[in-house]
Structure 1
Amino acid sequence: MRLKQLHIRYYPPGIILDFEKGGQLRTKSIDLLDLTPECDANEVLLEIRRLEPLITVSREEQVKFLIKKLQDKLSQPDDHKFDLFKTLQAHILPLTNVAFNKSGSSFITGSYDRTCKIWDTASGTELHTLEGHKNVVYAVAFNNPYGDKIATGSFDKTCRLWSVETGQCFYTFRGHTAEIVCLAFNPQSTLVATGSMDTTVKLWDVESGVEVSTLSGHSAEIISLSFNTVGSRLVTGSFDHTVSVWDVPSGRLVHNLKGHRGEISSVNFNWDSSLIVTASMDKTCKVWDAEGGRCLATLTGHNDEVLDVCFNFKGQLIATASADGTSRVYDAQTFQFVCKLEGHEGEISKVCFNPQGTCVLTGSADKTARVWSVSSGSCLQVLEGHTDEIFSCAFNYYGDTIITGSKDNTCRIWR
């Protein structure tokens, strides 16, 4: 093995190694999830050298430089105020979902008007309209971190794979017998997973366009799915009240997670793939041991359905969104309640952390999105102007731009 190059990764903090093995270029990461500005860089370096044989004496100064650069980034104040940059008359019918590419230079919007559109974030210019679906485009995703392909899942029972550069359709994935409501690329961008109201998940090969496997076992529609960071596992959440963990290479069911008393609304792995968090219409979230399939904690406090849940980038915090109009933050290690985010006047359907993990963004039926402080639970900003429900919202990679998608047919860029 021969180390070729080192790269920095700000969120979550880490160092990426490009190395050669058997004549092939490969990549691995050194995760520094516990790094703080106060850490001794020399001690961090010693620990990296102890665990990673590719880091030799000749690379010590370079690694130390990257550690200090990460510490500088972590010590920067996070007091960004968001102003409305542009309102995009994006579609002729309500938006369903929005998503950024890895760098945040472009984003996509899906809509009831049967199209997906690609936008340039800096200018708000429309780059491409992806046409061809015969019903609502409900699920949209970039193949991050590469960002050269887009997958769209539709109520027409198909998923399409598109070129970001040209807007051309590479493949139409056919095989589901009901609406596709969720999808994701694996981290290697070799597979697309589609979840459907037909109770199955299908895995599709990005290169050839063929179906790789069908994951069957749920008895009701699959509403949410997520790959782990290395792409070896897939978690699916269903209206049958259960969550399934699948081995991706074999398509084998690894765990069936039972315990919720209502439909599952959202499922996610944390960064190191050790935990799974699930949200349910039973007003709770549960945290599970991803390897053993054991329920570690039930997160309570909401008095209505929990509609969304997520980890922060480091996997140390969990945020929930509920039909009761509040969001809650929990510690993902102790499972203790951290703070309650109150102020919305309607249900919250979407929640996400900024990359730094210091703020939470919520989108609500009250036509506003809000930015909250994790440390205090206070509302830092109300993003107003939409004239109907906000269905979807997202931070870019650097946490200095927000997009909001609404039932009012528009998308707004805030920065």
Structure 2
Amino acid sequence: MKSDFKARNLIFTPDGNSVLSPVGNRLTVFDLVNNKATTFPYENRKNIDRIALSPNSTLLISVDEDGRALLVNYNRQVVLHHFNFKTKVYDLQFSPDGKYFAVTHGKHIQVWKTPGFHREFAPVVLHRTYTGHHDDVVSISWSPDSRFFVTTSKDMSARIYSTNPIEGFVPVTLSGHRDTVVGAWYSKKQDCIYTVSKDRALFEWRHQLINPKSQDDDENSDEESAMEVDDSPRRWSAVQRHFFHQNHANVVCATYHAASGMIVVGFSNGVFGIWELPTFNNIHTLSISQKKIDSVTINKTGEWLAFGASKLGQLLVWEWQSESYVLKQQGHFYDMNCLSYSSDGQSVVTGGDDGKVKVWNTVSGFCFVTFSDHASRVTATEFAKNGQIVFSASLDGTIRAYDLVRYRNFRTFTSPTPVQFSSLAVDPSGEIVCAGSQNSFEIFVWSVQTGKLLDILAGHTAPISCLAFSPTSQFLASSSWDHTIRTWDVFGRGKSVESFQHQSEVLALAFRPDGKELCGSTLDGQLSFWDVENALQTNVIHGRRDITGGRKATDKITAENSTSGKHFNSLCYTADGSCIIGGGNSKYVCIYDIKATILVKKWQISKNLSFDGTLEFLNSKNMTEAGPMDLIEDDDFSDLEDRQDNALPGTKDLSKRNVRPEIRTKAVRFSPTGRTWAAASTEGLLIYSLDDTLMFDPFDLEIDITPETIIETLDERDYLKALVMAFRLNERQYIQRCYEAIPPTDVKLVARQLPTKYLERLMKFIASYMEDSPHLEFHLVWCTSLLISHGKYLKDHSGEFLMVFRGLQKGVGKMHEDLAKVCNDNTYTLEYLLSQAEKN
């Protein structure tokens, strides 16, 4: 899983239930119905610029910044072919019939044949190249019948082309706009074309007669016109001109929904509007972002709108009829610095340079709460109280405690004199919180209940890099740049201190889960292991050569001889304490076996060449007298606000320099379950898991499944096999028949042996069947048996079954209401009858 939204181009799947968004050089699918996010396993060479999905959802094309494309089987998530368009691609669209796809190629347009499913020597075959524009083409739109397509360009015009040569047809130019034409679309009947330009203008073009006949001539030739084709000369002309009034904000993106005649426009000031065509009635206008909206798309039914703002990393899905958000996600604006797992492994909290604290669900991949109370960079985060409280430390001199039940900042801790906090630790009971300062070299201890400062621990002579409480005792360990790790008895009166001396600056430390051993990482790339009770060094791992990797574009020496990045700045033990994982300022994350002191595995967190430090060797042809080619400014800045220089004379704005982000890992943590680990990196939050979403199902090995075989199996009283076969056939009538045929006495046995693969589908069926079925006790027996037999699995995967639980709760609640109503009616009837009997 990967979370850091940089949406360049968004598309909905044909069913309209999922939205596809580029996340760096990977692709993520957000399932809006089941509330899940899935990241595809493949990577593009650089950040993805454009994506396109075929109408039947089988083929996906993703193109990076350099024009290198991947042809992917969407359902299998497998790369089929690599292709290079050799130039930047502004737009890529499949034809509605799926036979072709059109791609921009500078001033030209290339139409390629869509690959088939059989093996071919050249899967992608060029159909035709179309010319005529005088500047870069920026958008392509197909007609509903796939015979024509209309393109727009920076030359302030739109052109109509035919897919195949048509006798008498000449490509048509639609000119009249005064700025770049952002998009053009056919109406549903193909009798009208709408074009939108950057200067907030919308033109309506219609195919009209040049010299229309008089009305009398038309009446006299009604029968003839019915038999003959009108060959009168026609031309496309602008019949209507409309303008969007948005306080000098330019149009950045737009999309058109032909079925409803609705156009959605995104502006550079973060506002979007919905207009109804051809009447040009403004249906809705809303400001959803502080930066410009880079991408907008609409699903097939026209109910949901998806917006992307890449500068803020925002991804929004808006239901315009109910005026509510379906999805609202935003990653950290700058680097992600720290992370921490909750005790159940279901949540991860992260802090970033933007001063925000975000809590993510590890199952769905969504951020469900964001705290923006800090005024500066967040340096450390921790969970406490069984995952119900989050603590965060920041350079703004505050430690804040957040309640995840009411989602509020209920406590703020500060020091007597303002300092910058660089580390944080919370004791296992959650009653004491400690923070290390970066400038005063002291450790501050507060009480969470009262918020009062209890103690100030002094002794370090350099900035404190890390703090950690022992999992089993009340000792606090601190690491510092003064070459030492110190242990403190926070609750004792003696304040006994033990010092562990190192050869270099200590950057990180971690306790083993049993609390008997701690590990420290030093600037020279070593991992030192210490026996806490005896204060003896037990082991040393030299990881300098393992963590080294990647050469920056400005480096004068090779990556192997470079001294930067050859150390670990974050450590974490595995759940069993046998291995330790570490990450640093490089593209690698390493895990070591402590007892054998060997490298078990090394992960490369990204192969994205858009980041600095990904390549091991630099190509000399990319070096020029002005510096590396990648760092030379080559953007043409088509927007006026980007070209304007508002700096004072004699000054240089360093924030506008062209630099590439460096690939690095700021923090690594193992989940308490031991099945997953997470890394806070330049690419965002990365989660690696041992559990694959695909589960083995022994029933998949069976031969043909038909209604007849299901009935035969049911007659043989093999209820579990019949139920599973019905689920595989996916016919509701047979699922219902097998479900009702199981005797109540055998429900517990069948529920216990049911494979977890079919657990969600069975619970969904029960939730939907409860509303129409009279078998109240039978449904309750099934629910109870499933919860008892698979309780641990359901708890570990509670995020996946959230909608199922809601459905069951709704069904049981309705059954309870109906039963209560019947009981009340019977009670009153019995009371009436008894009262009548007493009178008689």
Class of the TM-score when normalised by the shorter of the 2 chains:
0.5 to 0.7
Q: Is contact 2:569-2:667 (8 Å) kept?
A: no
Instruction: For residue 207 of structure 1, report the CA deviation from its aligned partner.
Output: 1.1
Partner of 2:530: 288
2:498 corresponds, among 255, 259, 271, to: 255
Q: Which has the greater radius of gyration? A: 2
2:575 counterpart SS class: coil
Partner of 1:171: 411
1:131/1:291 CA distance change after superposition, 3 Å: same
Partner of 1:199: 441
Q: Does 1:312 pair with 2:574?
A: yes
1:325/1:234 CA distance change after superposition, 3 Å: same
Equivalences for residues 12-411 of structure 1 within 5 A: 84=39, 89-143=330-384, 146-175=386-415, 177-197=418-438, 198-250=440-492, 252-258=495-501, 260-303=502-545, 304-321=566-583, 330-332=592-594, 334=595, 336-339=596-599, 341-342=601-602, 344=604, 366=614, 389-400=664-675, 403-408=678-683, 410-411=684-685
Instruction: For residue 342 of structure 1, report the CA deviation from its aligned partner.
Output: 4.5
Partner of 2:51: none
1:325/1:182 CA distance change after superposition, 3 Å: same
Instruction: For residue 280 of structure 1, report the CA deviation from its aligned partner.
Output: 0.3
Q: Distance in 2 between matches of 1:310 and 1:209?
A: 29
1:290/1:84 CA distance change after superposition, 3 Å: same
Compare relative contact order (CA 8 Å, sep 6+) and give the higher one, 1 or 2. Answer: 1
Instruction: For residue 186 of structure 1, report the CA deviation from its aligned partner.
Output: 0.8
Greater shift, 262-271 or 170-179, is seen at: 170-179
- Could you report, residue by residue, the CA deviation over 1:194-240 in whole angstroms, capped at 9, with x for unpaired residues? 11212111121111111121111000111011111124101100011
Q: Is contact 1:178-1:196 (8 Å) kept?
A: yes
Q: Distance in 1 between matches of 2:687 and 2:589?
A: 23
Count, aligned residues: 295
Q: Distance in 1 between matches of 2:687 and 2:669?
A: 10
Instruction: For residue 319 of structure 1, report the CA deviation from its aligned partner.
Output: 3.8
Q: Is contact 2:445-2:453 (8 Å) kept?
A: yes
One-letter code aligned to 1:158: T
Q: Distance in 2 between matches of 1:265 and 1:396?
A: 22
Q: Is contact 2:593-2:600 (8 Å) kept?
A: no
Q: Is contact 2:467-2:476 (8 Å) kept?
A: yes
1:400/1:279 CA distance change after superposition, 3 Å: closer
Q: Distance in 1 between matches of 2:404 and 2:499?
A: 36
Q: Distance in 1 between matches of 2:662 and 2:486?
A: 38
Q: Distance in 1 between matches of 2:526 and 2:423?
A: 21
1:128/1:365 CA distance change after superposition, 3 Å: farther
The answer for unaligned runs of 5 or more in structure 1 is: 1-81, 347-363, 368-385
Give TM-score scaled by structure 1 length. 0.63
Q: Is contact 1:344-1:366 (8 Å) kept?
A: no
The list of structure 1 runs, each at least 4 consecutive aligned residues, that deviate by more than 6 angstroms after superposition, is none
One-letter code aligned to 2:471: T
1:93 counterpart SS class: coil
1:309/1:343 CA distance change after superposition, 3 Å: closer
Instruction: For residue 152 of structure 1, report the CA deviation from its aligned partner.
Output: 0.7
Give TM-score scaled by structure 2 length. 0.32
Instruction: For residue 189 of structure 1, report the CA deviation from its aligned partner.
Output: 0.9
Question: Larger % of strand: which?
Answer: 1
Over the aligned positions, Cα root-mean-square deviation in angstroms equals: 3.3
Percent identity reads 24
Q: Is contact 1:83-1:414 (8 Å) kept?
A: no
1:204 counterpart SS class: strand
Q: Is contact 2:345-2:362 (8 Å) kept?
A: yes
- Could you report, residue by residue, the CA deviation over 1:279-327 in whole angstroms, capped at 9, with x for unpaired residues? 1002212111211212223323524333333332222333444557666
One-letter code aligned to 2:499: N
